[in-house]
Structure 1
Amino acid sequence: MTGRLEQRFVALPSGTAERSGPGGHPCQGCYLAPSGRRPRFGVLACHPSVDFSEHYLGPLLAARGLGFLGWNTRYRGNDSTLLVDHALLDVAAGVRWLLEEARVEGVVLLGNSGGGTFLAAYQAQATAGILAPADDRPLAPGLDALPPGVAFVAVAAHLGRPDVLTAWLDPSVTDETDPSGTDPALDLWAEGRHPPFDPAFLARYRAAQEARNQRITAWVTAERDRRRARGEGERLFLVPRTWADPRMVDASLDPSNRPVPACLAGDPRRANRSAFGLAACSTLRSWLSQWSLQTSPLRADRVLPHVVVPSLVVEADADTGVFPSDVRRFTELLGSADKDHQVLPGDHYFRQPADAREQLADRLVAWLAARFPL
């Protein structure tokens, strides 16, 4: 695990995005490998919109003999216009680079957090052609020729953007244009309401969260049709209050070693009233593509059954954003006959305890080495 690493900046066009006028490529990332030798297998880590070019696992896995491409889609840092089919073409550009330029024998798809169902969707499309249009426009060309991975690894991965957003939505919002107005009957922090929460309240709460997602989808569809009838194009809209999963404040729900109250943005009550959150800003088409329960392909039950390569699911035991029942469901849905669910000490990003990332890297390499000649 010692020795020098080679590092290379990789920038590529995508199937539906060329180099920009100022010179930037739509897809960018960083490739790490052991110095002086070509790894037999390459790991590609990617998220639909988070910058993974310097992913923490990169130097750790490269030091253990693997090639590692921390890869970004064209939507890095800004998912307000993200379209899943185009983002999958961006992943394909990175996979092809590993096969053709780094000359690895096979690519391991590593989905961390939101990258889990995203790369599962990539693998499912590459092998089973599962994608259908999220609205009434055709899919991007080139989706029938995606090079698949030879293995799939999910680390602290949730059940998909529509599902995690819905689980976090504040159902007490009564006006999407004015987040200050709420229905106290559905307010997680209403006066006199404290954990542990009543099961009847939780049932109403979860149903209202789904109903809010569906209301937004209905509005998006109607607004799209209205604008088209007037000869107008896209528009942006805001989605307020998206840090309100009861599990963020009630330790008795989905018990784990996580701190409570807590979410990935800190204190959930404060975060829920901030301007930052999932789907905070979106176009109409992007909502249908990545956030809608009804139309988005980024749902675990729609993609994971089609992932049949060897698969590893790693759960962080103190995760404040992905909970034990989510990970169990993720593992159950995988179509692979060779799948493993392992639990390691750590928060969502394995920053704690001090050796959490080293333990994770060791576990990933041991699992891969048992299946592939590294």
Structure 2
Amino acid sequence: MAEIHREFVGLPSPLVGRAGAGGHPCQGVYHRPAGERPRTAFIATHYNVDFSEHYLAEYLAERGYGFLGWNTRFRGNEAYFLLDHALVEIGVGVRWLREQAGAERVVLLGNSGGGSLMAAYQSQAVEPNVTPVPGMRPLEQAYGLPPGDLFVALAAHAGRPQVLTAWMDPSVTDETDPLSVDPGLDPFDPRHGPPYDADFQHRYRTAQRARNERITDWALAELEALRGGRARDRLFAVPRTWADLRMIDPAIEPSDRRPNWCYQGEPAKANYGVFGIAGSCTLRTWLSMWSLRTSQCTAAPHLARITVPSLVVHATADTCVYGSDARTLYDALAAPDKSLEFVKADHYLQDPPTARPRAADLVAGWLADRT
């Protein structure tokens, strides 16, 4: 096994100052083969998950590549996420790879939720299109971002508003009461399933979209009500977001996944727990990240601006990313050179134990063919 050199990278953000305790807003860890300066390097960033020690970093470094697991200031801070700000801070990492690490080619790795985020980065770099949420100024730093040279989507969702809406429990009747329920839409009422018939699935999906739209209507109205007052934004909670019917019923979009399971365990328990995506939001974060109507975190429009060689890798035993997600990403890519590959593994490629090295071989092999 090759010796791996790890370097902590802490850099200023063009948008906010350094923390009083000393931390830089932009931070990550650069992995590379010891004694080498790779000509090709990856960068991986997520909306809020810490990617500094990403699970593929060492594997790809062993195969001769650099890997910057990179965090914006929104790591662990999802409630305050703003897309245009995050893209500027991803650009800090890309510039460091080119100007300091010596990378001649940069591969944008969009893993999990990071798929749509890194797609948005490349999209903004090649054809600026991301606009600020209501009440915020455009960022001049969001123009002239350095683009990547290749793009990889790994176990990636189709977009932040899409994944939230697909996971939402539409039986919530009162957003301020996490126990409120419409019995006619309750996915955990055995009278409905599983298995769930086509009529229930249709009503359920329609009601999920309606719930997302209701929250957007409310958020826009709240922002308008705050205009001119002391407060510019406010926090609110979004309960019950582990209720995709596919999590419960394996007959819907069959795959190698574990039935009746999600990233937080059994859906019926997770759905009524306190850990969930979009659990805490500001009004502007909802509009920036989660709203079907206003969010620019949907992958497809950004993928339509990506023309560099691109690879989509789907983990077939993923409990919450499905084959349709991978096909949506692949079909939306504008790249003439694009590939869709599959690995039999869970979302984080932990099971089976060979999944991570196999995925690294797959990505490295694809990349080697494009030197």
TM range, smaller chain: over 0.9
TM-score, scaled to structure 1: 0.98
Aligned amino acid, residue 370 of structure 1: D
Q: What does residue 9 of structure 1 align with?
A: 8
Q: What does residue 115 of structure 2 align with?
A: 116
Work out the number of aligned pairs and report it: 371
Q: What does residue 268 of structure 2 align with?
A: 269
> 1:166-185 alignment to 2 at 5 Å?
166-185=165-184
Shift of 1:136: 4.2
Tell me, yes or no, if structure 1 residue 70 matches structure 2 residue 69: yes
Aligned amino acid, residue 100 of structure 1: E
Shift of 1:345: 1.1
Q: In structure 2, what is the Cα distance between the partners aligned to 1:341 and 1:251?
A: 23
Aligned amino acid, residue 143 of structure 1: A
Q: What does residue 282 of structure 1 align with?
A: 281
Unpaired segments ≥5 residues, structure 1 = none
Tell me, yes or no, if structure 1 residue 357 matches structure 2 residue 356: yes
1:182 alignment partner, SS class: coil
Q: What does residue 33 of structure 2 align with?
A: 34
Q: In structure 2, what is the Cα distance between the partners aligned to 1:173 and 1:230?
A: 31
Aligned amino acid, residue 104 of structure 1: A
Q: In structure 2, what is the Cα distance between the partners aligned to 1:321 and 1:259?
A: 10
Is this contact kept in 2: 1:130–1:303, CA < 8 A? no
What root-mean-square deviation, in Å, do the aligned CA atoms of Structure 1 and Structure 2 show? 0.9
Aligned amino acid, residue 42 of structure 2: V
Q: What does residue 141 of structure 2 align with?
A: 142
Aligned amino acid, residue 162 of structure 1: P
Is this contact kept in 2: 1:81–1:286, CA < 8 A? yes
Task: Output one character per residue of 1:335-364: Cα deviation in whole Å (capped at 9) or x when no partner.
Answer: 111110000110000000110000000000
Is this contact kept in 2: 1:46–1:115, CA < 8 A? yes
Is this contact kept in 1: 2:84–2:131, CA < 8 A? no
2:281 alignment partner, SS class: strand
Shift of 1:234: 1.5
Aligned amino acid, residue 126 of structure 1: A
Aligned amino acid, residue 263 of structure 2: L
Is this contact kept in 2: 1:134–1:297, CA < 8 A? no
Q: What does residue 88 of structure 2 align with?
A: 89
Task: Output one character per residue of 1:184-225: Cα deviation in whole Å (capped at 9) or x when no partner.
Answer: 111101142222211011111101100100100100010111
Q: In structure 1, what is the Cα distance between the partners aligned to 2:136 and 2:77?
A: 22
Is this contact kept in 1: 2:300–2:328, CA < 8 A? no
> 1:97-112 alignment to 2 at 5 Å?
97-112=96-111
Q: In structure 2, what is the Cα distance between the partners aligned to 1:280 and 1:127?
A: 33
> 1:306-325 alignment to 2 at 5 Å?
306-325=305-324
Q: What does residue 326 of structure 2 align with?
A: 327
> 1:135-284 alignment to 2 at 5 Å?
135-284=134-283
Q: In structure 2, what is the Cα distance between the partners aligned to 1:139 and 1:278?
A: 27
Q: In structure 2, what is the Cα distance between the partners aligned to 1:283 and 1:192?
A: 36
Task: Output one character per residue of 1:81-119: Cα deviation in whole Å (capped at 9) or x when no partner.
Answer: 010100111100000000000011011000100000000
Aligned amino acid, residue 306 of structure 1: R
Shift of 1:18: 2.2
1:49 alignment partner, SS class: coil
Aligned amino acid, residue 16 of structure 2: A
1:29 alignment partner, SS class: strand
Q: Percent identity?
A: 52
Shift of 1:324: 0.7
Q: In structure 1, what is the Cα distance between the partners aligned to 2:190 and 2:201?
A: 16
Shift of 1:229: 4.0
Q: In structure 1, what is the Cα distance between the partners aligned to 2:170 and 2:186?
A: 7
2:96 alignment partner, SS class: helix
| More displaced stretch, 342-351 vs 184-193 | 184-193
Q: In structure 1, what is the Cα distance between the partners aligned to 2:181 and 2:53?
A: 40
